[in-house]
Structure formats: C-alpha cells, structure tokens
Chains A and B, each alone.
Chain A
Amino acid sequence: MRHLALAAAILLGSTALAGAETVYHRGNTAEPETLDQHLTSTIYESNILRDLYEGLVIDGADGSVQPGVAESWAMSDDGLVYTFTLRNDAKWSNGDPVTASDFVFSYRRILDPATGAKYADVLYPIDGAEAYNKGEADAETLGVRAPDDLTVEITLANATPYFLQLLTHQTSLPVHPATVEADPENFTKPGTMVSNGPYALSEWVPNAHIKAEKNANFHDADSVAIDTVYYYPTEDRAAALRRFEAGELDSNNDGPVEQMTYMSERLGDQLRIAPYLGTYYYAINTSKPPFDDARVRKALSMVIDREFLASEIWGDTMVAGYSLVPPGIDNYGEPAYADYKDMSLLDREDSALEMMKDAGFGPDNPLEVDIRFNTSENHQKTATAIADMWKPLGVETTLTNSDTKTHYAILRDRGDFDVARAGWIGDYSDPQNFLFLLESENEGFNYARYENMEYDNLMKRAAATNDLDERAGILFQAEEIFSRDQPYIPLMYYGSISLVSDRLQGWEDNLRNVHPTRFMSVGE
C-alpha cells in the first residue's frame, strides 16, 4: 500500500512537472532547406529563424516593425543613413553579448559572393552591397559600420522607405561570428548553433521535426510563455488537417483548399483565412505576336470572371484581383485597378469582342492560346475555367503543364510560351516590390518581356523620390500604365489559410502572415 502511494506521488509529481512545461506543436508546411539565415529563401525557414534569432528590428505579433536588438534608431534627413542603438542586455544563447560588430560580420557574410546567398539581392539598397556581392568591391566598402559596440550605422545607396521592414527579413538576422568561423559547415546543427532569439535549436531530424527550446539568455525570456516548440514539415495538407483534428498540431500554416467546406463546417473559428501580400497572375508573352497587341491582352483579361475563380475554385481562400499591387499594402493608397473592374461581365464581354475584332480575330480567324502552368490540381482547374471563359471570344485554348522546376526554368530562360501562370508573394509591404517585376531590366522576373520606357522612367523616378506621398503617386502612375497594357493578367490576391487551435493564444492574422512564437501562449 505504501509503495502504491509512493508510486502515485511520483506519478503525480512528474505529471505536474510535465504540465508546467508548455509545448507548442507547429505545422510548418515544408522541410527547411537550411537554417543558415544567409542561405535561406523560403517562408518555412523564416518561420523557424524568426524564433531562433533576433534582428535589429523584429516582426510584432501583428506583422508590424518592432524594436529587436536595436532599442531605438534614427534616420538622417536625406533618408540615407540609419543609426541603430543596440540594447545592452542582448545576449547570444551561450552568454556572449550581442555587439554591433556581429551585425557587420553578418552583413559582410551574406553579401560575400563566396557565400552563395540566394537572397543577397534583398539587401542591395545598402550602399556598396551590390558591388561587393558581384565581386567588384571589397567588404570594407559595404555601408554597414560599427562605430562602437552598441551602435550600428547603415548607409543606403538610395532612400528606401521600406528599409526597416526589409530588416525584418531573415537575411538580416545576425550569425554568431565565432561559431561560424569555427565550424562553417555545421554551425546550423543542434548543439553547435548559437542564436540570439527567444529560442535555441535543440533537435533537427530532417522530414520529422525541428525542436527549439526557450533560450534562457534571451533578454526578454521572462515574457516568453511557450517553453518548447516543435516544427513539423506538414507537406501533405490533408494529412496535416487530420493531425490538427486529432489534436497533434496546435497550428498549421496551410490547409487543403479542396476541403474548404469541410473545414469551415468542422473547425469554425479555428480556420483562419486572412488577406496575404501576394498576387496570382497570368504572364503574357508580349514579345510574341499576336500577344504584342495590347488589345488582345486586354480582351483576354476582361472576360475572366475572377469572382468565380476565387470562390468556386479556390473556396474563397483568394480574392478576385484587378491590379498587380494587392490592396492594403504600406506606402500606397488604393491600387490602380483595371478600368473594367466595376463593369458587368456582359458589358465586358461585348467590348472584349469588339477589341478582338479590331485586332483581327473572330469566328473565322480564332485566336489560339496555350496556357502553361505548374502541375497542381487547382492551377489546372483555374486554367480550364479560364479557357472556358475565353470561348465566347472564339479563343481556342490548349493547356500544358509541367513540374514547378521545369515551368519556371522555361519562364526564366525565355523559352517559348503564350500565357503562363505565375504568382508573386511580396518580400516586404511596398508597391515597388510588385511593380519592379515588369521593369524592362528585370530579366529574371519580367516573364512577360514587357518593355516600356515610360514605365521604366516612372520606376526610376520613384526610386529617387524621398517624399512618401509623391513616391506613392508616381508608383500609382506606373501601375496605371500596367493596367492599361496588361502584360500580366492579375487574377486573384492570395489569402493565407491557417489552422489555429483554440488552445493557442496570440496568433494574430496579418497581411504578411508572420507569427512569432514568442508572443503566443498555449492554454488548456
């Protein structure tokens, strides 16, 4: 009997202890390619790195820019020099203080051509960054300096109104110089990694999970409620939904679009759909007749019933889109919508027929269009629906699909295509990050091969303008030209789907879809 009581006490004691530790099981869509912040390129990686490291500034729970390692900052009047004052209690997970020189080291590392950083160009607004990354200048010429241990001074090449937001990107997260230098190949592994964020890496089993535990040396550790986070690569969205329903995941940052009805019936408030900073579009090959004719492009664009696509095919996880820049973006007003946005579909069809006739197409001379898309059930359905919407114009549509790598290789290498599906998720909340896609010099992204001097000049003028209102006006003019010429057919604005358990508090829906674990808590 006494033994039993003892055993019960031990059991109770251990469960009480286990209960004191809060664990967050976080579905994170895919396996990170790397946890080296300077080599990363995906959203899945940024979700983990945001918890492991802290930059000069950070994302708040609502996606706004908040002080991080820097407790304050000042911008020079010309907008070119930012001076950050670091907090004096910031520490690395091994107890070392976080110093200004750590940031200098980190920026030099990501921009070093030998590093081979995929996203280095995000930092090109920094003075000397582009030249250094292209191997044309030395590290010393980079505009990031440390006048003392607690001051980081960053000089920009041009005024960049979204610069602070840029610094929340994972490319701006610092690395621990001594660890990187000691073991450049393995500093991202558990046991070796030294990080300065609210969490520290403790396990990484590829394709199974990543485990991070609260970093006791973090300056704000007292306010971090969750002790342990597990990130799971939940590639199979339907399986993730089942794991969520079984209570094995507290959140998952995606969901199976094809099960929208089921999810909204079963999950209620736990299904979150929020506007997202992205546009789903079709690029038209403007270098190829007859697609070089703006009338043809506009006619094709006008007759598409975007509301149908968004609600019937994408289950309202997308919103019908009539502009390249999604609404709600910072440093901008309402986007420059296409002029037919508020016309009825029937009227749109009539004027589209007219335009096609002017361009020389009709029942006896049908336009042939091939739509290329990367293999996916919903891209296929979207293309099929669009082909059907084009029928009244006498357009004969064929569909060609290929895997994602092949698809984008064809777009980038200037392969032959008529119309191709693509999408863009903004890296930062600024219209420039969408409109720059169509600059004629932008070889990588300008799938439409659109060349318009007037557009290019407006973009250059905007880049040189410090006054935010004036800049917004110039960018708006550029988007008006885009809407007139329609080198891309904007179809929908992305929405983000998240499954968030009632147990999890502090998950705030936001346009950039960022959800730092440090502001969350797990209840019963």
Chain B
Amino acid sequence: MTAYIVRRLFATLPVMAVVALFVFFLLRFAPGDPAAIIAGDDATAESIAAVRAKLGLDRPVVEQFLLWLWGLMQGDMGVSIFSNLPVTRLIAQRLEPTVALTLSTLFVALALAIPAGVLAAWKARKLVDRIVMGFAVLGFAMPVFVLAYILVYIFAVLPMRTDWWPLPGLPVQGYRPIAEGLWPFVESLILPSVALGITYMALIARITRASMLEVLQQDYIRTANAKGLATDRVLLLHALKNAAVPIVTVIGIGIALLISGVVITETVFNIPGLGRLTVDAVLKRDYPIVQGLILVFAAAKVLVNLLIDISYAFLDPRIRY
C-alpha cells in the first residue's frame, strides 16, 4: 500500500508537467494582450512594445516557458504582471475562503445526499423516493448561478424589502474568516455552499440510490434479513458498504464540478477566494496567476483521485494494490 501511494505520487509529476505545458501555451494562443491592458486605451504601439519588453513578453515563447518551468521547480510561480506580487503569496492569501467553501460544500452535500439516496433506494418507487429524485433532477438541471441568484433573492432581497416574508436574512456578501468566530464563519458559508453543492448533491443522491438498489437485490442482503438484523444495520453496513465504490467514484469526479462551480459561486457571493482571483486574472490576462491557479486546481484534482483510489481498498477487501 505504501509503495503504491509513493508510486502514485511520483506518477503525478508527469501529469503536472503536461498540465503546465498545456496551460502555458493555451494562454499564449488565446486572444488578448496584458501589455495593451497595462498601457491603457490610448497607448501607442511603441509604449505597448515597451511594456511588453519590461514584462519579458517579447522573448520567444519557448524561452518564456522554460524560464517559468525553472522557477516552478524552485517553488516560484512567478510574479503577477499587474500587482508585481509573487503568485504563490497571492494564492496563499486567497486559499482559506476557497478551501472553507469547498469543504463545507462537500460536508453538506455528503451529509444530505447519501442519506437521501439510501432512503430513496430503501423506499424505492414510494413517495419519499419520488420526492428525493424530483429534487435531484431539479438540482442537476439548475445552473449554479441561477440558483445562487434565487438564493440571494429569497434570503437577502425579500427579508430586507418586505415585512411579510417569513424566512430570516442570511449574509450573501463576502466571507468571514474562522478567526472572527464560528457562527459568522458558518453563516457566511451557508448560501454559497447550498448554491455550489446542489448539482453535486443531485449527482451523489442519484448514484447512491442506483448503487443501493442494485446491492439490495443481492443474496447477501437476503441473508442479512434472514438473520433478523435491524434495518439500519442492513442498510448502512451490509448494503451501503457494498454500494460505496461507485458512490466514492462519483464524489471524486464531482470535485471537478466543485472547482468550476467555485469560480461562479465566489463571483456571485463576492467571496475573495481562488475563484475570484481566477476570474480577475483571466479578464486581465495576468498569465502567471492563471497558470499558477490552474496548476493548483489540477494538483488538487490529482490528489483527490489518489485519495479516492486509496479509499477503494478500505471499502472493498477484494481490491488490493
């Protein structure tokens, strides 16, 4: 197992190298020029060329790439074109809100979607099942930004503008670090987590239901029932542990969904995290920041996949590495 983990960690290096190559050249091929943005609207061709020379953007692309790669190997992601701050520091500053948002979404999604899926499978074709699956279809069909604005309307606009609206207001702007207290922190994450997590929840609830339905047909479930075991033990131990591998796989795949959702959610709810940093950097063509962020997202995804693969061995003793 340890050997497997070490091997997999080494295998991430070529993956990251390919990601680095693609992100660098795709950005250069994309239209837009940071030098033109810095030089301003009434800049002349000469002033743009001067800015470009100052930023090192006039050098051959391959040379720029190798310079960046050399820096990366020393843990240096370069410097922001606009603020002149090191990219690593910019990312570190914005990391906490995004990690908090992602983890709280993950927590909320798993805590709601897995029980809902188990319940739906247990009560298949009954009312509870139809309600759960109805929500799942709705949640899966709803784009993150649509839901986000609906939530803002329900929990911020209506409570403020009317006095008959029964629901309490919730913060819809910004992020409160956990250092400022637990409740403000949690409160600031509720709506963003729901908006970000709804698609994810729908996906997990559906796969949980499908996987459980298949497992509940198996002979060993009949054996468990013939032993007179309590229903919760049959469902949550005998069935869910067998149904877990597909569920965990989808949880892992869905992380990509969360990463792309973070960008939109942070924009709607004005959270100063990596998502907002990404949007701002892309709009300004701040190449080093975008490159650094994409590497960080890719590394997160690769590590999550590794964790998922390792978890298989704990869930199913027949899987050995």
A and B interact: no
Give A residues with C-beta under 8 Å from B: none
Give B residues with C-beta under 8 Å from A: none
